[in-house]
Structure 1
Amino acid sequence: MALKLTGTVALITGASSGIGAATARRLAEDGAAVVLVARRKDRLEDLAAEIENAGGTALAVEADITDRLQAEAAVQQAVERFGRLDTLVNNAGLMLLGPVVGADTEEWDRMIAVNVQGLLHTTHAALPHLLQAAEQGPRQVADIVNISSIAGRVAWSGYGVYNLTKFGVNGFTESLRQEVTRRHVRVGVLEPGGVATELGSHNKAEVRDAMIDPFYESTEVLAPQDIADGVAYMVTRPRHASVGELWIMPTDQA
């Protein structure tokens, strides 16, 4: 019996760890050929081998999506290898927290580059192929899932520019959804709460001590697989059903 995504191709950014890696595994289990995009080539190759050994199909593509040309080349490699692109999961993200007053503005630039510009680069490059896939078999529908955050719904002190990027992702997602939904490219945003990933590890020690570690020590956070399950749910709906927003939270996160 064919799996839900048999004959389709999914590209996942930030696929070298955490939510991206879990999503790649899950979509491969559902039958998609998965294109793994990130900067850490060794991790991508290990994950691709793991997926292939489990009977799936995977392609590792080393790319820095903050560079428009590299993002475009990653999409092109996917299409050249598999002949199509049905699903884009914009997962790559960076969370650098702290006060606006006295902030290291280089951290702001890095977040905006990954969370906003990288997402825009991959989406722009992928859209022609997604629109084409939506006109063809096997499913006659294509999907974009943008991984945002609860920080795209609620603003907190110390999250200023991270909030800005995720509120922006939510707004862009809804605008694009309205633009292409009648052409059967479904566009949705998935907003996780706390997840056990490397996301917080890139912060300065004082930020981890004050804002991140206490939360993770007091909260039963989500696993990356929980978010991967949400992505799989969104992209395996029948052609006539579109999930525009999915909010997944730890049960005990206030």
Structure 2
Amino acid sequence: MTDKKVAVVIGGSRGIGRQICIDLAKQGYAVVVAGKSLSDASAVHPFPPDPNSSQSTSSTVAREITEVGGTALALAADTRNPASIEALFSATWKHFGRLDLVIYNAGAIWWASVAKTSMRRFKLMQEVNVEGLYATVQSSLPYFERGGWHGRIIVVSPPIYSRFFRGKTAYAMGKVGMSVLTKGLAMDWQREGKKDMAITSIWPASAIESAATLAASNDPEQRQDLRHPSIFSDAILAMLAAPATTVNGLLDTDEDFLRNHAGVSDFSRYSLVPGTSPRRIMPAEFPSLEVAEQADEGKRVDSTLVSRRAAKL
């Protein structure tokens, strides 16, 4: 049991995920660092390891936190296996006795045309991205219920806009699906009156140094277009500080949220190369997903009730 708020960060072993874990711990969270596998953190020399290397694991991140007096627990979780996700939340509750925050940062990436994306790669991305998130949400809900429906879920997925699909359709199908889950679950909670629950999606406005941008990090010219991962964790902390009603169902970028909700106007401190202005990769504005008849659902169908009626016939 702990009096601290408890955060489960799935995909917290390196890069952006590691930064999120470190900064949450600094804010007083007990952090469950979840990744595909664990390691012997005591055997890593020098320590801490390069945060974008394979030496950075859930175990080393947990060690980084505990060595400076924070609270952390490293747990293995395979996002392709729903039973593994269920075990993650069960172990978290058994160890800490509470759950306040879930961050889904796990992801599989393959950017190519449909013709150049095999079925094997397509299935991997759907399993890790959208199916992994769905399993995470399903597994976490009973524990949020135990806590009285007070909590947050943060999803690393983008605002929905047409340019995102270009050249990476298979990847976009999963990522946009994750954003649809954010919108849909937010509507469920709003309809059910769960005012202290919020699910929010966040995406980088400019490229961020991570394992996914390693090639750019090693190229002096491309390096100038990268930001430090602290911009992402700062935006998440700002989202957590905002009222649940403000961020529930929101699809936003790190830069835009910090500017519009945290009063940040100078982003120069986040430039990986001092004095540079990383190129924004997101559109200046995003389309609204609402329609003129937004509130008109007609007669809503609940398949669980339909199934019960069918069973009685």
The TM-score range, normalised by the shorter chain, is 0.7 to 0.9
Is 1:217 aligned with 2:225?
Answer: no
CA shift for structure 1 position 156: 4.2
Match of 1:29 in 2: 26
Tell me the number of residue pairs that the alignment of Structure 1 and Structure 2 aligns: 235
CA shift for structure 1 position 112: 0.7
The unaligned stretches of length 5 or more in structure 1 are 1-5, 136-140, 202-207
CA distance in 2 between counterparts of 1:93 and 1:69 reads: 18
Return the match for 1:247 from 248, 253, 256: 253
Contact 2:198 2:244 in 1 (8 A): no
Matched residue type, 1:236: A
CA distance in 1 between counterparts of 2:7 and 2:223 reads: 35
Corresponding residue SS for 1:52:
helix
Corresponding residue SS for 1:95:
coil
In our comparison, the structure showing a higher alpha carbon Rg is 2
Cα gap change, 1:253/1:241 in structure 2, threshold over 3 Å: closer, same or farther? closer
Cα gap change, 1:222/1:40 in structure 2, threshold over 3 Å: closer, same or farther? farther
Q: TM-score, normalised by structure 1?
A: 0.83
CA distance in 1 between counterparts of 2:170 and 2:25 reads: 34
Match of 1:90 in 2: 104
Contact 2:16 2:232 in 1 (8 A): yes
Is 1:160 aligned with 2:169?
Answer: yes
Match of 2:154 in 1: 145
CA distance in 1 between counterparts of 2:167 and 2:223 reads: 19
Is 1:192 aligned with 2:204?
Answer: yes
Matched residue type, 1:7: K
Q: TM-score, normalised by structure 2?
A: 0.69
Matched residue type, 2:234: D
Contact 1:96 1:200 in 2 (8 A): no
Return the match for 1:40 from 31, 34, 37: 37
Cα gap change, 1:218/1:51 in structure 2, threshold over 3 Å: closer, same or farther? closer
Kindly indicate whether structure 1 or structure 2 has the higher relative contact order, using CA contacts under 8 Å at least 6 residues apart. 1
Residues 104-123 of structure 1: pairs in structure 2 closer than 5 A: 104-123=118-137
1:37-71 Cα offsets, whole Å, 9 max, x none, are 11131211111111011111001001212100001
Residues 202-241 of structure 1: pairs in structure 2 closer than 5 A: 217=222, 220-238=225-243, 241=246
The unaligned stretches of length 5 or more in structure 2 are 40-56, 256-276, 282-313
Matched residue type, 2:17: G
CA shift for structure 1 position 233: 1.2
Contact 1:176 1:187 in 2 (8 A): yes
CA shift for structure 1 position 222: 2.3
Cα gap change, 1:219/1:101 in structure 2, threshold over 3 Å: closer, same or farther? farther
Contact 1:86 1:142 in 2 (8 A): yes
Matched residue type, 1:237: A
1:117-161 Cα offsets, whole Å, 9 max, x none, are 1111111100121233245xxxxx3100101136x4332432111
- RMSD, aligned α-carbons: 2.5
Match of 2:178 in 1: 169
